[in-house]
Amino acid sequence: MDSFSIKGGVPLHGEVTISGSKNAALPIMAAALLTDEPCVIRRVPDLSDTRFMVKILESLGATATFTDGTLTIHAKKIRGYADYELVRKMRGSICIAGPLLARLKKARVSLPGGCIIGARPINLHLKGFAALGARIEIAGGYVDASAKKLVGASVFLGGRAGPTVLGTANVMMAATLGEGLTVIESAACEPEVVDLAEFLNAMGARITGAGSPTITITGVAKLHGAEHEVIADRIEAATFLIAAGATDGEVTLKGTRPEHLRAVIDKLNEAGVAVERRGANLVVRRKGKLKSADITTLPYAGFPTDVQAQMMSLLTLAPGISIITERIFEARFMHVSELARLGADIEIEGPSAIVKGGRPLSGAPVMASDLRASAALVIAGLAAKGTTQVNRIYHLDRGYERMDLKLRKLGARIERVEEK
Ligand code: EPZ
């Protein structure tokens, strides 16, 4: 398994171009299953997750070509039964269920199972499918959803931690080919849901209200092929903003959507990191000393859970006490013990981590446990004195396109150490 070797202490300087969003691309790729015509999707990041989704679409019978960020998917003839092992391995692939159910009136997919950051059930996805008239059976590790026809309905999709992003996406896609009107209440408002709705409307769907807690879908008989450019990855952008602040550098991020980053920019400002907007570019640098700040992760437009770990790395450098509370996933503090290896002082109290910041970090071998935890370890390694080795970076490759190259272009001393 590859690792990163990072010699820390170098302030990042220069420009970085932000890639397309992984979490927008995955459901948009699945949506191409809704039509038998070709779909062209641009700015798709080249990641192990998007390549994995291509494999899943091909296992269903679709063809796909992926060159320089442009993906052409043609789901001319497909089957409603996805390979167990493929779906089981990548949670995000659960969003093929809605399109298969809509187009074929049947879908058989393996249960995604839990993940290291939480139990992550799909009860709300299934609640939505059942509201549209689907029969749901769970057996042998599979979910079988089937219906003679899907009929529009009103469904409340709020759960333990509020709305569900992929649940909203799945039910919205299922309802596009249903009969009549569907209203999703307590829908997720994430920009990735809005981007998906825009793609679906380009395919001929009739969706309004995406981006608000109430989404309305008027079913249509058929959808056609379409072209779409995926939005910028706000989580990748947040990661680079934080890396610049943690290393006391000055970086220009190109091709971002600043309006998707308000909660992050607000907290960075509070912590002593200034982010200036210049059109679609953001310029980030520290303004004086870092300061402690309290963070609570919330559904969009609140502070994103996918930036919690990276922000913790920054706050370990800020003198004073910062309290970070994780409200979305019940086990998303795997990075805490690894940051402690680098000298950070963090205590976990229930859903909160109490960071006693200001102590300089020093390099050490650490282990990545999940996608965003690995990004946090890379940021801490960039800020630490000496050499940090981040192991198991396959986690990082799932969600960051050529992160080591982008960081090296900003002056970082980072090397990918390929396993022999
Ligand atoms: C999406 O996951 C993202 N993944 C996650 O990003 C992100 O952390 C999450 O949304 C929250 O913003 C993709 O888009 C591929 P949820 P999703 O359903 O949709 C509970 C990353 O790092 N819940 O919004 O799977 C659930 O357990 C990844 O890129 C139910 O209880 O997340 C969680 O506590 C990690 N029942 C909360 O809701 C359900 O049926 C939010 O989960 C569904 C969810």
- Provide the H-helix boundaries in 286-326: 308-315
Q: Which two tokens stand for residue 239?
A: 């990661």
Q: pTM of the predicted model, to two decimals?
A: 0.98
329 lines ligand 1 (CB under 6 A): yes
pLDDT tens per residue across span 303-344: 999 999 999 999 999 999 999 999 999 999 999 999 999 999
Q: How far is CA 100 from CA 21, 391, 400, in A?
A: 23, 37, 28
- The catalytic position among 39, 95, 115, 189 is 115
Query: Residue 125: in which H helix or E strand, if any?
Result: helix 123-131
Q: Please work out whether the CB of residue 112 comes within 6 Å of at least one atom of ligand 1.
A: no
Helix H or strand E segment including 84: helix 84-89
Q: Cα–Cα distance between 365 and 325 in angstroms, integer?
A: 27
Report the residue among 19, 21, 23, 56 best suited for mutation to probe ligand 1: largest number of ligand atoms under 8 A from its CB: 23
d(CA 399, ligand 1 centre) in Å: 15
Residues 6 or more apart whose Cβ sits within 8 Å of residue 160: none
The CA 94 to ligand 1 mean position distance, Å, reads: 11
pLDDT digits (tens, 9 = 90+) for 4-50: 999 999 999 999 999 999 999 999 999 999 999 999 999 999 999 99
Q: Is 158 exposed, middle or buried (0-12, 13-18, 19+ CB in 10 A)?
A: middle
Q: Does 45 sit in the ligand 1 pocket, CB within 6 Å?
A: no
Alpha carbon of 39 to those of 30, 35, 79, 136, 139: distances in Å?
11, 9, 18, 29, 33
Q: Is 168 in the pocket of ligand 1 (CB under 6 A)?
A: no
d(CA 82, CA 107): 8
CA distance 293 to 285: 17
Number of helices followed by number of strands (H, E) in the chain: 14, 23
| Model pLDDT for residues 189-215, shown as the tens digit of each residue | 999 999 999 999 999 999 999 999 999
Tell me if 121 CB under 6 Å of ligand 1: yes
pLDDT at 114 over 70: no
Q: Which residues are 20's β-sheet partners? A: 232
Is residue 95 annotated as part of the catalytic site, yes or no?
A: no
